[in-house]
Each structure stands twice: as C-alpha cells, then as structure tokens.
C-alpha cells in the first residue's frame, strides 16, 4: 500500500529571495482560547492558529460546555465566566499531542465539581505531569496520575486556597497552570519563577486581571489575585517565532538567499533563536517594530551567511529558544568549529526526547556529536554536503523532528525519506505549502 504520510526530498533547494507569512503563534492561540472560556460573553481571535493542538483545545472546552465557531481563520468563543464550565458526569478530555493544553487546562479545573479524566496521544502519555499536578493539588484539588503521567483523574475543591509556588525549571507551562488556577481562588497566589515565556502575564495585564510582577535577573516574582469576572478578549494572533525559526535557519544555510517574515511575535522571552543566529554570524534585522497588547511584533529579515561561527551557547538562552534547538543544531553542524549546548535536560521532556533525536539526525548526516542527559557537543563541518540515503521514522511523530529533517534535506542535500508528514498539523499546518512557495 502506498504511504502518503511521508515525504521524499532528493535535491537541495536553490537560492531564494522571498516574503512569507507564517501561521499564528501556538502559545498565544491556546492561551487566548482558555482565557476566552473564562470571560462572560463573546471573545474573538483573528489569525488563530488552526492546528490540531488548537482544535484539541477547542474540543476540550466544548466538552466543558463552551461554544465556539470558526469563520475563515478567525474564531469566536462564548465564555461562561470564571469557573463557569457546564458538563456531564465523568467526562474525558483529550489533550491530543499538546503539553501546553494538557498542563494549562488543569489549572482551570481545580474547582471542577465532577470528576474529569484527562488523556492524550502516545507522545503526550509519555510526558511528565507531576510538574503541574503537584503544585495544583496544593490549591486543594485532587489529582490521581498514572505514575506522574496520563491518564489523570481530577476532582476539584469547592474552595481552593491560594498558594506560594517556586517554579525552578523555567517552564512557562507550569507557571501558567498555576496562574490560571490562582484566578479561581479568593486570595493572592505568589509565584517565584525561573525566566520563561511571559505571554500569560501579558494577557493578564491586558485583561486588567490583578497581577503584580517584579522582574529580577534570573527569576520573576509574580502575584496573582483571584477574580470574580474577566473581560472578553479581541485579539489578533501574531506569527509564531518557533515556526518562523525553520525558515530563518533554512535561509541562513542556503548561500545567496534572503527572506522577510511579516508580523512575527518577537517577545523578548522567545527570541533566543535570534540571539543565537546573530552569535553564529547570521545577519538578521527587525523592521517595523511595534507593541500589540503588550506583545512585541516586527517583520524579520534574514540573509544567508558564508561562514557560520561555532557557539558555546549560554544556558541563560535555553528557555527562550527551547523549541528551536533541533533546528539550531543544523546551524552548528555547518559551523566552523565545535559547538556546545548544555543544561538542556528539558529538551528530553518534549514531544520526543529531542537531544537524542537532534543528535541522531546529525549523525545520519555524517556529523559527530557527543551527548549526555543534558548536553550536546556538535563537531561542525563548514563544507558539509550529504549524498547518502537517510530515513527518518519512529520519532513519536514529533512535528519539530519532521520539520528539522526537511530543512536539513533542503539545506544539505542527500536522498531523504521522512515519515509522518501529518505531524506538521499539530503546530504548523502550512509548513510544506510555504516550502513550496519558496521553491517556486
Ligand atoms: C510553551 C512552553 C514551553 C514550550 C511549549 C509551549 C507554552 O514548554 O516548549 O512548546 O506555551 O507555555 P515548557 O514551559 O514546558 O518549557
């Protein structure tokens, strides 16, 4: 039987000079939907990311009694107010492939009056959930996990108590789950959080939710007060820098190429990829910078580089580039010298163990690596050209493994067969369409 769920790439891409538009930001799309569910009345998102992670979010909300509808790329949600979910006994919510949904949603369920079961796909079922159930149960709700993993059974509490929480992984998912739970309490929740993406904080501020933030060098101190009501939210989702990263790297690696990506979210807590590209010698510029509802947005220009410098990547950039490392490793593969990335144990907590997969892709291309549980050393080769057969499969359908492999095939050549093409539907459904636009 023909397998249509794979792609074959047999030649490198030619130089290009294009302007592209990337799909909406995943983190913001999920947060918009969850917050809209808690408002009283109609919220609208323009340019919402229409991917499986967002559809899973909307389907979970639908089971919780929230109505939504799409018109073109836009979406309307009718919220039922704080803790206003209405649902039948013993429902099962399916977070699909999405760690962000699976973790953040639980924050909104700490007052659930009937038991809720939370499940996910094969990849999500391998991921750690204790990181959110442990702080969330301190609000008073009960979480029964399967050894810290899915399925999880949630029984809420009538009167959740605010907590003091120390988030020390640099995980925005953990921080945000606690911030959402804090909304459902009668008091103040205090969070000390290692730096991570701050979209939830910015949305809370925009919605006039009582929040105080003190930014220190390595940690943020956040105070959230419970609320009785929140405003509806009209929001235009900017383009996702994590999805843009594949094209920034492709351009950097393809001699004679340049690219402009419009309306990208360049929130300072997300631009580790930009800093790393610059440190490696890539010319990259922000134009038309503006602030939209607290988020920074710009058009991003990038040019290919003749010689890439190796990098000893400062771990303080890890959280702001956490979803981009797989594709960053491709830059290191072509850099002059050895690159080193450390304190990256969180990379193995993603949709697949990404340190392992990053290293595997490079090894298949003929690049040597040395990996530990939390680091990778990459022995770069500025003359790298691939001319053999490479097959990529059995990687837990991790969308970012798929897309990184496509970029590697287009940048370095070789005869690649990359399985599980459908994985792009989770975060970046237009990925292959944009590749084809650039090829034209
Ligand atoms: C996300 C946070 C990150 C990131 C994920 C999206 C978010 O995870 O990897 O893709 O939207 O909060 P962690 O917070 O677990 O690092």
Assign 3-class secondary structure to 301-315.
Answer: EEECCCCCECCEECH
Does the active-site annotation cover 53? no
In this structure, are 159 and 290 located in the same domain?
A: no
103 touches ligand 1 (CB under 6 Å): no
Give me the number of domains the chain comprises. Answer: 2
Distance 100 CA to ligand 1 centre (A): 6
**Residues ≥6 apart with Cβ < 8 Å to 224:** 179, 182, 183, 188, 189, 191, 204, 209, 210, 211
| Whether the bond into 151 is cis, omega within 30 of 0 | yes
Is 297 a member of any domain? yes
- Give me the tens of pLDDT residue by residue for the chain, a chain 440 residues long: 677 899 999 999 999 999 999 999 999 999 999 999 999 999 999 999 999 999 999 999 999 999 999 988 799 999 999 999 999 888 999 999 999 999 999 999 999 999 999 999 999 999 999 999 999 999 999 999 999 999 999 999 999 999 999 999 999 999 999 999 999 999 999 999 999 999 999 999 999 999 999 999 999 999 999 999 999 999 999 999 999 999 999 999 999 999 999 999 999 999 999 999 999 999 999 999 999 999 999 999 999 999 999 999 999 999 999 999 999 999 999 999 999 999 999 999 999 999 999 999 999 999 999 999 999 999 999 999 999 999 999 999 999 999 999 999 999 999 999 999 999 999 999 999 999 999 98
Residues 350 and 389 in one domain: yes
Q: Cα(164)–Cα(173) distance, rounded to whole angstroms?
A: 17
- Residues facing residue 83 across a β-bridge: none
Same-domain pairing of 82 and 182: yes
Q: Cβ(98) to ligand 1 under 6 A?
A: no
Q: What are phi and psi of 283, to 5 degrees?
A: -85, 120
Q: Are residues 93 and 12 in the same domain?
A: no
Q: What are phi and psi of 427, to 5 degrees?
A: -130, -25
Domain around 10: 6-24+238-439
* Residue to mutate (ligand 1; options 53, 172, 245, 350; most atoms within 8 A of CB): 172
Is 323 touching ligand 1 by the criterion CB < 6 Å?
yes
Same domain? 83 vs 229 = yes
By 3-state DSSP, what share of the chain in percent is helix, strand and coil, each rounded to 5? 35, 30, 35
Greatest Cα-to-Cα distance within the chain, rounded to the nearest angstrom: 63
> Are 224 and 79 found together in one domain?
yes
CA of 352 to the centre of ligand 1 (A): 14
Q: What is the three-class DSSP state of 393? A: coil
Same domain? 327 vs 189: no
- Residues 246 and 217 both lie in one domain: no
Task: State the DSSP code for 15.
Answer: P
Are 39 and 82 in contact by the 8 Å Cβ rule? The answer is: no
CATH code, domain with 13 = 3.65.10.10
Catalytic annotation, pick one of 323, 374, 387, 394: 323
**pTM metric for this prediction:** 0.98
Do 149 and 244 fall into the same domain? no
């Amino acid at each position: 039987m023909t397998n249509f769920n794979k792609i074959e790439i047999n030649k490198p891409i030619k130089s290009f000079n294009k302007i592209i538009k990337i799909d909406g930001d995943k983190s913001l799309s999920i947060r918009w939907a969850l917050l809209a569910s808690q408002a009283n009345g109609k919220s609208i998102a323009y340019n919402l990311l229409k991917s499986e992670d967002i559809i899973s979010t909307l389907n979970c909300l639908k089971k919780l009694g929230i109505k939504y509808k799409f018109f073109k790329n836009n979406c309307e949600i009718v919220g039922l107010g704080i803790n206003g979910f209405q649902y039948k006994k013993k429902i099962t919510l399916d977070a699909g492939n999405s760690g962000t949904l699976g973790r953040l949603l639980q924050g909104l369920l700490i007052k659930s009056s009937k038991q809720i079961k939370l499940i996910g796909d094969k990849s999500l079922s391998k991921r750690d959930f204790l990181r959110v159930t442990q702080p969330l149960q301190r609000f008073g709700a009960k979480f029964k996990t399967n050894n810290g993993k899915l399925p999880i059974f949630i029984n809420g509490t009538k009167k959740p108590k605010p907590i003091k929480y120390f988030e020390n992984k640099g995980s925005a998912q953990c921080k945000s789950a606690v911030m959402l739970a804090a909304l459902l309490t009668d008091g103040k929740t205090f969070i000390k959080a290692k730096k991570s993406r701050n979209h939830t904080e910015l949305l809370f501020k925009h919605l006039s939710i009582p929040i105080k933030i003190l930014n220190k060098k390595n940690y943020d101190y956040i105070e959230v007060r419970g609320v009785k009501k929140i405003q509806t939210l009209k929001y235009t989702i900017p383009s996702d820098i994590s999805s843009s990263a594949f094209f920034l790297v492709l351009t950097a690696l393809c001699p004679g190429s340049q690219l402009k990506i419009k309306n990208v979210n360049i929130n300072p807590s997300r631009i580790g990829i930009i800093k790393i590209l610059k440190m490696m010698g890539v010319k990259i510029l922000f134009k038309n910078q503006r602030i939209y509802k607290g988020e920074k947005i710009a058009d991003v220009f990038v040019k290919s580089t003749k010689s890439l410098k190796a990098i000893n990547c400062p771990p303080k950039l890890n959280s702001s580039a956490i979803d981009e490392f797989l594709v960053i490793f491709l830059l290191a593969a072509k850099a002059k010298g050895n690159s080193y990335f450390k304190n990256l144990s969180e990379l193995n907590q993603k949709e697949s163990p990404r340190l392992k997969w990053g290293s595997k892709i490079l090894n298949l291309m003929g690049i040597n690596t040395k990996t530990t549980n939390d680091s990778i050393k990459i022995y770069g080769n500025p003359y790298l050209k691939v001319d053999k057969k490479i097959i990529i499969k059995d990687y837990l359908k991790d969308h970012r493994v798929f897309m990184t492999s496509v970029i590697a095939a287009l940048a370095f050549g070789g005869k690649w067969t990359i399985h599980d093409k459908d994985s792009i539907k989770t975060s970046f459904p237009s990925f292959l369409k944009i590749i084809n636009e650039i090829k034209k």
